Amino acid sequence: MNFKQLKYFTIVAEEGQITSAAKRLYLGQPALSYQLRQLEEEMGARLFIRKPHGIELTQAGKKFYAYASQILLLAKNAQTELADIETGKSGTIKLGSVSSSIGVLPSQKLVAFAQVHPGLSFDIYEDNTYGILDKLEDRLLDLAIIRTPFNRTKLNSVKVLDEPMVAVSQGDLPEDLNLGKLSKYPLVIYRRFENLFTETFNQAGLTPHFVVKSDDSRTAIRWSDQGLGVALVPASIAQAYAQGRVRKLTIPAWHTQLELVWLKDQVITPLMSDIIDLYRQGNGNGIMESKN
């Protein structure tokens, strides 16, 4: 049994005549009759009662007509959906994101993209950068938005956002915060940036006092909000969550990026390609490939 035989059968059932069905199919009557006999033999049931002026479905034929119609419809729907996936009209994107991407995800451009692709759906997976990278390497994700620094060896990336660190505090802070002044405050930090902060202070001959180290910038802000110290967090996180005073920092080394990443050997679907292009056009920096 094949799709061609199912199509022949349903059209004969709808026409009620071999002659008119053959015309509709642009097929000779003997060839059509042969296909129907083969189908009956394969199904092990009589599907038609042949009469002088046409044919009539048997009870088995009526049941089989319902199944055949459903199978053909499912096949047509599958073909349409697969074609939409190939052309980038529909599909599911498995997108990983770190908690500190809250300021840019969902972005206006991604929402606008989804609105003009009604067949698109997102499966969002949230974790820290290391967890997201593990999921990406295990092929559980198509794309991910993560924060620098990270190992680029197996990844291609497009920059989503370049932002400075800011200081957040419940108490007063001077407008012109520099390393010397910051070194006098108890600091609440996101652990991933500990080495960056420590190195910068040490290069200036200063020793920072980290009163709290956390695995989430939002947690750092919550501790700072309770008056325990000055939180050093990315600007977008402060904008989204900080309740205290926020001060800009003019320390060049204290910048971080959010980047859209994918595996170098990943099979890129049309939808993935469109999303990558969406972010690539937004920053003008193109794809950053590791040289390792």
Per-residue model confidence (pLDDT) at position 194: 94
Q: What's the CA gap between 136 and 190, in Å, rounded?
A: 23
pLDDT digits (tens, 9 = 90+) for 142-179: 999 998 888 888 999 999 888 899 999 998 888 888 99
pLDDT > 70: what percent of the chain?
92
What mean pLDDT is predicted for residues 238-262?
89
pLDDT of residue 187: 96
pTM value surpassing 0.75: no
Separation of CA 252 from chain center = 32
pLDDT at 109 over 90: no
| Fold (CATH) for 3-87 | Arc Repressor Mutant, subunit A (1.10.10)
| Residue of 143, 169, 139, 141 whose CA lies nearest to 156 | 143
The domain limits of the chain are 3-87, 91-161+257-289, 163-255
Does this chain's domain 3-87 share its CATH topology with 163-255? no
Q: Please give the residue that has the higher pLDDT: either 51 or 188.
A: 188
Topology classification of domain 163-255? D-Maltodextrin-Binding Protein; domain 2 (3.40.190)
Mean pLDDT value of segment 213-223: 90
- Average pLDDT score, the chain: 86
pLDDT at residue 285, as a whole number: 39
Q: Is the pLDDT of residue 195 over 60?
A: yes
For residue 287, pLDDT over 50 is answered with no
pLDDT digits (tens, 9 = 90+) for 70-107: 899 888 877 876 776 676 666 888 899 987 776 566 67
Phi, psi (rounded to 5 degrees) for 284:
70, 10
Does 91-161+257-289 carry CATH code 3.40.190.10?
Answer: yes
Span of 52-61, 111-120, 189-198 with lowest mean pLDDT: 111-120
Residue 179's pLDDT is 93
**pLDDT at site 239:** 87
Contact predicate 135/127, CB 8 Å: yes
- Cα–Cα distance measured from residue 203 to residue 50, given in angstroms and rounded to the nearest whole number: 96
Residue among 50, 72, 74, 73 nearest 61 (CA):
50
- Residue 81, burial from CB neighbour count under 10 angstroms (0-12, 13-18, 19+): middle
For residue 86, the surrounding DSSP H or E stretch is helix 59-87
Give the pLDDT confidence score for residue 89 in this predicted structure.
66
What SS3 class is residue 96?
A: strand
Q: Percent of the chain beyond pLDDT 90?
A: 36
In this predicted structure, what is the pLDDT of residue 224?
92
